[in-house]
Amino acid sequence: MSTIDRLKTRPHSFARRAAAALLSAAITLSATAAAFASDTVVLRVGDQKGGNRSLLDISGLAKDLPYKIEWAEFPAAAPILEALNAGALDVGYTGDLSFLSVYAAGAPIKAIGGTRADAKTQAILVRQDSPIKSAADLKGKRLAGTRGGWGQFLIDATLEKNGNKVDDATFAPLGPVDAKIALLAGSIDAWAVWEPYVSYATLKDKARVVADGKGLTPTITFIVASDSAIATKRAAVQDLVNRLNKARLWSLDHLPEYAKNTAELTKLPEDVLLSAYTAQKTSPIAIDENVVREVQEASDRATRYGILPKRLDVNRAVDRSFTAAASLN
C-alpha cells in the first residue's frame, strides 16, 4: 500500500478591485507554460470532495495544463497535512491554525497562497430549544470543536472576549460529524464550526448562532506546498496558485452554478451550499505584511490558549514569492 493510500484511510472578503489586482499582477498562465521543461512535470495535489479539483473543473480552468496533476482525495484537511509532511503530496490546502500546528511540529512545508472568508461564517451553534441565548451563557457549558483548529480557537477566543477564562467551560474535541450528532442528542451544549456546516445546521436542524468569529479569527485557508515542490516544481506550483485564484473569482460571479455543481458532487443540499457560499464570499489573498501580522496575532493567541505548543514566527512559515507581485492598494 502506498503512502497516500495509508494516509487516506485515516479517518472579509477583499474587494474585487484588490483581488483583480492580485491576478493581473501574477504570472500569466501562457507565460508560465514556457517555464516548464520538456519532460512533463507532475504535481501531486491533495483535495477533498467538492474542493479545489471540482472548482477548477467547473470554472473551466483545469484545461490546457502545461503539467500533469495527480489528485488524491482525502476526507479532511488533517490527513492532507500528514501527506504533505510525509512527502507524499506537493500541494494541499487547510485552515490557518491547522497549518501552523503541523508547521510547529517541524513539517517541511510553507503557506504560499490562500483565500479569506467572512469571519462571521465561523460560528458557535446551539439547539433551537437551548437555554443559551448569547455568548455570555457559554460559561460552565460543554462546548465541542476541532482540536488545534478554528473550532477550539473560536471557543477560547469567545470565552475570553466575554471576560471568562478558557477553562471556564469544558472543551469536547469532536470532529464535525460527531459534534453534530452530539449537539442534536443534547450531549454537548454548543458546537463551534464553519461553513457549510453552519448553513446546514441552521437551515435543516434549526440550530441557532450565539457567537461568530468576527474580529476574532483570520478565517484564512492556506494553499500549502512542500519545501521540495517549491524548490523543484516552482513553475507548476505558481501556475496552480494562479488558476485557483482565478477560479475562486469565477465562483463569486457564479454562485448558483457553483452551488449546483458542488451539490451534485458532494450530495449536500444545493440550498445549503448556496447559503454557505453567499455568506462566505471567499476571495483570494496575497500573503503580504498585513496577512502575516494578522496570522501572527492569532498564532500568538493560540499559543497562549495552549492550542499551539510554542510561539511561531509566521514570517518563516510562509513563502511570499508566489504572491509577491500582487498589490492590494
pLDDT digits (tens, 9 = 90+) for 178-217: 999 999 999 999 999 999 999 999 999 999 999 999 999 9
Do the domains 3-118+219-322 and 120-212 sit in the same CATH topology, yes or no?
yes
- Residues paired with residue 43 on neighbouring β-strands, in sequence order: 69
Give the full edge-to-edge strand order of the sheet including 68-73.
68-73, 42-47, 91-95, 220-226, 109-116, 283-285
Amino acid at 250: W
Domain ranges of the chain: 3-118+219-322, 120-212
| DSSP string of 97-127, one letter each residue | HHHHHHHHTT-SEEEEEEEE--GGGSEEEE-
Q: Which residues of the chain have pLDDT under 70?
A: 1-39, 325-329
Q: Given this model, what pLDDT does residue 31 score?
A: 44
* Protein fold of 120-212: D-Maltodextrin-Binding Protein; domain 2 (3.40.190)
Query: C-alpha grid cell for residue 201?
Result: 445546521
| Whole-number Å distance between alpha carbons of 84 and 222 | 13
Q: Are 135 and 211 in contact (CB under 8 A)?
A: yes
User: For the domain 3-118+219-322, what is the CATH superfamily, name and number?
Assistant: Periplasmic binding protein-like II (3.40.190.10)
Which triple of cell numbers denotes residue 128? 433551537
H/E stretch holding 42: strand 42-47
Q: How much is the pLDDT for 1? A: 53
Predicted local confidence at residue 323, as pLDDT: 83
Q: How high is the pLDDT of residue 225?
A: 98
Instruction: Report pLDDT for 36.
Output: 47
